[in-house]
Amino acid sequence: MAEGEGWWGGWLQQSFQAVKEKSSEALEFLKRDLTEFSTVVQHDTACSIVATATAVRNKLAVS
């Protein structure tokens, strides 16, 4: 039998396709997760900078 023929070849091809699809889904999930994480870090950093600048400004204004 040539490669890919019979039940063994069909099963192997289906398994390979399933792995490719799951890997693609996992990669897309990871991309979305990293994008969300990056957005949260940027937002939190900006908020921290504003809070620090405000605290410094208030401290200097009192002195």
Give whole-number Cα distances, 61 to 8, 50, 55, 56, in Å. 79, 16, 10, 9
Task: Return the domain boundaries, the chain.
Answer: 24-63
pLDDT in tens, the chain (63 residues): 455 567 788 888 999 999 999 999 999 999 999 999 999 999 999 999 999 999 999 999 866
pTM of the model: 0.63
CB of 41 closer than 8 Å to CB of 49: no
pLDDT of residue 10: 87
| C-alpha–C-alpha distance, residues 55 and 46, integer Å | 14
Q: Which tokens is 5 given?
A: 């023929």
